[in-house]
Amino acid sequence: MGEIKTVRTGIKVLDEMLGGGLLDDSTLLIVYNTYSFGWALGVQIFRKLVDSGGFGVVSNYSFPISLLVKYAGAMGYDFIESGEKGDLVIIDVFGSTYDIRSDLPFVYYTGKLGPENYLAEMVGAYRGAIEDHLGGRKPIGISVTLDGLAGLFGEESTIRVLKRNLAMKEAARMSEDRKRPINIFLLNKDRVSERFISWVGEYSEHIVEFTASSSPGVERMAVRKSLLPDFVPRTAEFRFKKGRIGIFPG
């Protein structure tokens, strides 16, 4: 086995719980429920990786752009400012589907999407976005949200799309000489089946799951999976308050 390359999330306690950070060229799946702030962890990791020199790619399946910006703003993260600085782009699948188009220059759109042409359209939009802005930086992707994608195409079609995407990613790894991405999948488990979660989890190198408690803003966080050799499954208390997160291992 060659040297294991890792990427630090910028959150020290989380890196320790993962066994040393995130594997390079990997996917982090964050699973939460309706009343959870687990999504905020994904936004925080995305922000820290972009701020440390990465290039952000937001795949938006779930929200109008105005609402997407508000969710980021709840974390004190200004998507519009970051986009205007050239640090992130948004591939707006939601807007493409419902023919709602923003005039923001960092928002990209696809043609009409279906399960059969999804990858071709997304690859076209992705390549257009990164060719315009990447400049040798490491791509940092966040999918908002994977249950939103399943809502557009259905779970079975989405699973087939994810399988084809995995194969394309493997082919690109062997043929392309560029920095490999880190991908963050946000998934509301109340909107999909256990079978769908199982499929997505199998393809993810790292999994963090949240369970809401009776106290708003206080949750149980479990690092369920990490393919780093030093990983030991652990739990922690997760807190969200005034746009800030706290992780307190048990």
Residue 244 in domain: no
Each as own residue / partner, the long-range contacts of residues 94-97 (CB below 8 Å, 24 or more positions apart, any chain) are: 94/60, 94/61, 94/62, 94/63, 94/64, 94/148, 95/60, 95/64, 95/65, 97/152
Residue 32 in domain: yes
pLDDT of residue 187: 99
* Average pLDDT value for residue range 105-110: 94
Asked whether residue 131 carries a pLDDT value surpassing 90, the answer given is: no
Find, among 235, 222, 171, 224, the residue nearest to 202 by Cα: 224
- Residues 229, 1: Cα–Cα separation, whole Å: 12
pLDDT of residue 168: 85
- Residues 215, 213: Cα–Cα separation, whole Å: 5
Residue 30 in domain: yes
* pLDDT tens digits, 49-74: 999 999 999 999 999 999 999 999 99
- Residues 220, 36: Cα–Cα separation, whole Å: 10
- Residues 238, 101: Cα–Cα separation, whole Å: 36
CATH number of the domain where residue 69 is located: 3.40.50.300
Cis before 34 (ω within 30): no
- Residues 113, 60: Cα–Cα separation, whole Å: 13
Find, among 184, 168, 165, 144, the residue nearest to 61 by Cα: 144
The backbone torsions φ and ψ at residue 220, rounded to the nearest 5 degrees and listed phi first, read -95, 125
The backbone torsions φ and ψ at residue 194, rounded to the nearest 5 degrees and listed phi first, read -60, -35
Number of domains in the chain: 1
The DSSP output letter for 18 is H
User: What CA dihedral angle connects 122, 123, 127 and 133, to 10 degrees?
Assistant: 40
Residue 35 in domain: yes
Which stretches of the chain are assigned E, i.e. beta strand? 6-7, 22-23, 27-32, 55-60, 88-92, 107-108, 139-144, 182-188, 206-212, 218-226, 234-241, 244-249
pLDDT band, residue 1 (cuts 50/70/90): low
Residue 140 in domain: yes
Give the domain extent around 104.
22-217
pTM of the model: 0.95
**Cα end-to-end distance, the chain, whole Å:** 33
Asked whether the beta carbons of 205 and 6 are under 8 A apart, the reply is no
Residue 96 in domain: yes
pLDDT band, residue 96 (cuts 50/70/90): very high
* Average pLDDT value for residue range 188-210: 98
Residue 59 in domain: yes
Residue 249 in domain: no
